Amino acid sequence: MVGGGLAVVTLRNVIHSAVAMMVCFGSLAGMYALLGAPIIAAAQVLIYLGAISVLILFAIMLTQAGDASLPAPFHRQVWLAVVAAVAVFGLIVWGAVQTDWHGATRATVLGLTAIAQAIFTTYALPFEVLAFLLLAAIIGSIFLARRPEEDERAS
Amino acid sequence: MTELRDVYSILPELLLGALILVVITTDLFLPRRSKWLLTPLTVFGLLLAGAACIAVWGTNRSAFAGFYRVDDLSIFLKGATMLIGILSALFAPAYLRQRRLPLGEFNAILLFSLLGICVLASGGDLITLFLGLELMVMPSYLLAGFHKTDRYSNEGGLKYFLLGSFASAILLFGISWTYGLTGTTQIAQIGARLAGHGISPALVVAIGFLTVGATFKIAAVPFHYWTPDAYQGAPTPIAGFLSVGPKLGAFALLIRVFAGALGPIHADWVTVMVILSVLTMVGGNVVALTQSNVKRMLAYSSIAHTGYIMAALAAYGNAPAARAQQQAIEAMLFYVLAYAMMNIAAFAVVGMLQREPGRFGGLASFAGLASRSPGRAAAMAVLLLSLTGIPPTVGFFAKWYVLLATVDAGLSWLAVVIVLNAALAAFYYLRVIVYMYMREPDGNPAPIDHSLFGAVGLGLSVLAVVLLGVFPGVILDVVRISAASLF
C-alpha cells in the first residue's frame, strides 16, 4: 500500500499514477479484511476499486489533450517537505509505540444485519446528515460543471 | 432509541432542511424576472427557523443515542447562525445580479452550509461533529469559487478546497487516535475516560492532530495561508459570510472538543492555545496594517479577531475554578456573535462599492464616501469603530469580556497583549474612516449600489451593533444561560 501511495505521487505520467492508486486502494481493502472487517473490505473493492478508479481514468481520458506526462510541480520545497513528513512520521511512530493501549477496544466482527440495524437505529442521525452532504455535493458539482451560458439562462 | 422528543428538539434543523428543498424546487419553477422572490423566501424561512430556536430554548438533553446534544449553548449558536444566514441572504443578491451569477444556487448552497453549522453546534459525538464540519465547509468551498468565470475566485476556491480537505483529513486522523485511546466517540465519555490517566504519547499525537485540524478551520496563525486568497477571491458579500459563518461553526467545534471532550485534561492543551492565540492576534494585525485593499485588510483583521476569541478559550483552559471557566465561555459566545454582525456588514459595504465588476475594494474607492453616500459612510464608520472596540458599540463589550475572562483566569499578560493589539488595529480601521470623511473622491469614483435588500441588512446590523453596545445586558443574560448549560 505504501509503495502504491509513493508511486501515485512520484510517477510523472497521470495514467500510471491512477493505476498505482488502484494498487493502493486494493491493498487497503486487503488490510480491512485482515483487521476483521470483511464488509468494509468488500465496500472498498466495490466503490473505490470499481467505481472511483474507473471514474478517475475516464476523467483523465476526457480532459487530457496530447502528452500525458507532466513535470512534477512543487519541486522547489521538496527537502523541506521531506523533513516535515519524516518529523510527523516519527511523531506518529513514537505515539503508537510508547503508549500502553490497554484501553483500546477489541475489534468485533459484525454481520451485515447488525450493521444495517445500527445504521438505521443508532446511527440514524449521522446517516441523514450524510444524505444532506451528498445532496449539497451534487448541486454544487452541477453548478460548477455547467457552462456560463447555461448559468445566464438560470439566473 | 429515537423518540418523538428527539425529533422535536431538532426543530430548527428540520425547518432549515425543509427550507433547502423548498428553495431548490421554487427556483426551478420561477420565471427569470421573479428570481428575486427567492431572497424574501429564504429570509422568511430563516426567521421561522430562528423562531423554532426560541421555541426549543431550555431543552437540555442528549438526543439520537447521544449523537446529538441539544442544550442552550447549541440553541444560542443556532440562533446566531440563522442571523448570519439572514444577513448573507440580504447582502448578496445585488452583487450577484451585477455579475450575472445565479441566485437560486447561491441560496441553496448557503443554506446547506448553515445546516452544517447547526449540526456542528449540537454535535454530541465526534462522528456528528465531523459530518457537520464537512456539511459546513464543503458548500463554503463552492461559495468561495462561486464566481467561476473570475480567475481570483477560482484560485481562492481551489486553495480553500485543497487546504481545507487536507485539514479535514488531519482532524479525522486526530479523531481516530482519540477513538483508539478511549474506545468511544461520544464527547461526554471521552472526557470521563481521559480524566485522571495522565498524558500518554498517543494522547499528545491525538491532541496535536485535533488542534491543527480545528485551528486550521478558524484560520489561526500559522494555519491561515488560505484565508486572504479565499476571502479576496470570493464575491465580497460571500467573503463576509465565509469570515463569520464557518468561523462560528469551527468555534462550536473547538468548544465541543476542547471544553467538552478534552475539558478534564485542559492543563495539557492550554499552553498551545495561548501560544496560537498570541501568534494569531499579532500576525493578523501586523499584516493587516500593510494592506491597501480594504477587502484583504478585513480578511487579515478577521484573523486577528480569531486570536481574541482563542484568548478566551485559552482563559477557559487556564481558569482555576468553574466560575472563571464559565465566564470564559460566555466571553467567547458574546465575541463570536458581536464579531459576526460587524464583520459581515463591513464586507457588505465593501461589496456595495463594487457595483461595477472589476472594482477590487481598494482604499481609494472609499475616498469621499461621506459626501457621496452619507448613510453608507456613517454605517461603515460605526462598524469600523465597533471592530476597533470603541464604546458605545458592541465591539467594546466583546473585547471587555474577553479581557475580564483572561484576567480572572490568571493570564493578565495575555490581556495586555490583547489591548496592545486592539490599539494596533485601530490604526488600519480608522484609516478607512479618514479616507471616507477627509479625502476628496478621485476623478472616477466607484458607483454605489443602492439596492433595497442590502440597505435593510445594513440598517439591521448597524442598529444591532449600536443597541447591543448601549444595552449589552439583553444578550448577556442569554449568553450566561447558554454557557451554563455546558457545565
User: B284-297, pLDDT tens digit by residue?
Assistant: 999 999 888 888 99
Q: What average pLDDT does the segment B33-53 reach? A: 93
User: B315-356, pLDDT tens digit by residue?
Assistant: 999 988 888 899 999 999 999 999 999 999 999 999 888 877
Residue A119's alpha-carbon distances to A6, A113, A128, in angstroms, are 35, 10, 10
Residue A74 has pLDDT above 70, yes or no: no
Q: What average pLDDT does the segment B91-105 reach? A: 89
- Summarize chain A as % helix, strand, coil (round to 5): 80, 0, 20
Stretch (H or E) spanning A6: helix A2-10
Q: What average pLDDT does the segment B109-137 reach? A: 94
> Which pLDDT score is estimated for B87?
95
B positions 10-29 inside 8 Å of A (CB): 17, 20, 24
Residue B54, judged by CB atoms within 10 A of its CB (0-12, 13-18, 19+), counts as exposed
Instruction: Report CA dihedral (A134, A58, B168, B203) to the nearest 10 degrees.
Output: 120
Say how many C-beta atoms besides its own lie within 10 A of residue B251's C-beta.
26
* Pairs of residues, one from chain A and one from chain B, whose beta carbons lie less than 8 Å apart: 112
ipTM for the assembly:
0.88
| 8 Å CB contact of B204 and A105 | no
> Which pLDDT score is estimated for B132?
95
Mean pLDDT, chain B, integer: 90
Give me the residue from B68, B109, B205 closest to A91, CB to CB: B205
Asked if residues B422 and B282 have their Cβ atoms less than 8 Å apart, the reply is no
Can you give the three-state secondary structure of chain B, one letter per residue?
A: CCCHHHHHHCHHHHHHHHHHHHHHHHHHHCCHHHHHHHHHHHHHHHHHHHHHHHHHCCCCEEECCCCEEECHHHHHHHHHHHHHHHHHHHHHHHHHHHCCCCHHHHHHHHHHHHHHHHHHHCECEHHHHHHHHHHHHHHHHHHHCCCCCCHHHHHHHHHHHHHHHHHHHHHHHHHHHHHHHHCCCEHHHHHHHHCCCCCCHHHHHHHHHHHHHHHHHCCCCCCCCHHHHHHHHCCHHHHHHHHHHHHHHHHHHHHHHHHHHCHHHHHHHHHHHHHHHHHHHHHHHHHHHCCCEHHHHHHHHHHHHHHHHHHHHHHHHHCCCHHHHHHHHHHHHHHHHHHHHHHHHHHHHHHHCCCCCCCCCEHHHHCCHHHHCHHHHHHHHHHHHHHHCCCCCHHHHHHHHHHHHHHHCCCHHHHHHHHHHHHHHHHHHHHHHHHHHHCCCCCCCCCCCCCHHHHHHHHHHHHHHHHHHHCCHHHHHHHHHHHHCCC
B positions 132-151 inside 8 Å of A (CB): 132, 134-135, 138-139, 142, 145, 148-149
> Which pLDDT score is estimated for B368?
84
Give the whole-angstrom CA distance, residue B417 versus residue B283. Answer: 12
A40 is a domain residue: yes
| 8 Å CB contact of A125 and B20 | no
The distance in angstroms from the start CA to the end CA of chain A is 47
| 8 Å CB contact of A155 and B100 | yes
B207 contacts chain A (CB < 8 A): no
Tell me the residues of A at the B interface, defined by beta carbons under 8 Å apart.
91-92, 94-101, 103-105, 121-126, 129-130, 132-133, 135-137, 139-140, 143-144, 148, 151-155
> Which pLDDT score is estimated for B11?
93
Q: How many domains does chain A have?
A: 1
A104 is a domain residue: no
B64 contacts chain A (CB < 8 A): yes
> Which pLDDT score is estimated for A138?
92
Mean pLDDT is highest, among A73-77, B358-362, B376-380, for B376-380
Reading the block at residue B291, the C-alpha cell is 494592506
Give the whole-angstrom CA distance, residue B441 versus residue B363. Answer: 11
Residue A8's alpha-carbon distances to A16, A44, B195, B299, in angstroms, are 8, 18, 42, 36
Residues in chain A with CB shorter than 8 Å from the CB of B1 are 121
CA angle A90, A96, A100 (to 5 degrees): 145
Give me the residue from A130, A143, A153 closest to B131, CB to CB: A130
Give me the residue from B104, B109, B193 closest to A103, CB to CB: B193
Give me the residue from B112, B193, B205 closest to A95, CB to CB: B205
Residue B181 has pLDDT above 90, yes or no: no
Residue A99 has pLDDT above 80, yes or no: no
3-state secondary structure of A11: coil
Asked if residues B361 and B236 have their Cβ atoms less than 8 Å apart, the reply is yes
> Which pLDDT score is estimated for B70?
92
Q: What average pLDDT does the segment B41-67 reach? A: 91
Give the whole-angstrom CA distance, residue B219 versus residue B199. Answer: 27
> Which pLDDT score is estimated for B438?
87
A23 is a domain residue: yes
Residues in chain A with CB shorter than 8 Å from the CB of B103 are 155
Fill in the amino acid letter for B84. Answer: I
Domain extent for A54: 1-77
Q: What average pLDDT does the segment B66-74 reach? A: 91
From A89's Cα to the closest Cα of chain B, the distance in A is 11
A152 is a domain residue: no
Give the whole-angstrom CA distance, residue A138 versus residue A155. Answer: 19
Residue A155, judged by CB atoms within 10 A of its CB (0-12, 13-18, 19+), counts as middle
B177 contacts chain A (CB < 8 A): yes
Asked if residues B211 and B269 have their Cβ atoms less than 8 Å apart, the reply is yes
Maximum distance among all alpha carbons in chain A?
A: 62
For B211, phi and psi rounded to 5 degrees? -65, -45
**Nearest by Cα to B59 from B74, B70, B48, B68:** B70
Give the whole-angstrom CA distance, residue B330 versus residue B327. Answer: 5
> Which pLDDT score is estimated for B299?
92
> Which pLDDT score is estimated for B442?
72
Residue A73 has pLDDT above 90, yes or no: no
Residue A103 has pLDDT above 60, yes or no: no
> Which pLDDT score is estimated for B282?
93
Give the whole-angstrom CA distance, residue B202 versus residue B186. Answer: 18
Per mean pLDDT, which range of A98-112, B168-182, B193-207, B219-233 is the poorest? A98-112
| 8 Å CB contact of A94 and B201 | yes
> Which pLDDT score is estimated for B262?
87
Residue A105 has pLDDT above 80, yes or no: no
For B442, phi and psi rounded to 5 degrees? -75, 180
User: B226-282, pLDDT tens digit by residue?
Assistant: 898 899 889 999 999 999 999 999 999 999 999 888 888 888 889 999 999 999 999
Mean pLDDT, chain A, integer: 81
Residue B411 has pLDDT above 60, yes or no: yes
> Which pLDDT score is estimated for A96?
84
User: B71-89, pLDDT tens digit by residue?
Assistant: 999 999 999 999 999 999 9
3-state secondary structure of A146: coil
Residue B191 has pLDDT above 90, yes or no: no
> Which pLDDT score is estimated for A154?
56
For B63, phi and psi rounded to 5 degrees? -125, 165
Per mean pLDDT, which range of A58-67, B225-234, B421-430, B434-443 is the poorest? A58-67
B404 contacts chain A (CB < 8 A): no
- Give the nearest chain A residue to B201 (CA atoms): A95
Say how many C-beta atoms besides its own lie within 10 A of residue B150's C-beta.
19
Residues in chain B with CB shorter than 8 Å from the CB of A101 are 180-181, 202
Residues in chain B with CB shorter than 8 Å from the CB of A104 are 180-181, 183
Give me the residue from A92, A123, A140 closest to B205, CB to CB: A92
Q: How confident is the model at residue A149 (pLDDT cuts 50, 70, 90)?
A: low
> Which pLDDT score is estimated for B419?
94
A54 is a domain residue: yes
Q: What is the CATH number of the domain that holds A47?
A: 1.20.120.1200
State percent of chain B over pLDDT 90: 59
| 8 Å CB contact of B180 and A123 | no
- Give the nearest chain B residue to A131 (CA atoms): B135
| 8 Å CB contact of A95 and B202 | yes
Residue B98 has pLDDT above 80, yes or no: yes
Q: What average pLDDT does the segment B421-445 reach? A: 87
Cell 492543551 locates to: B269
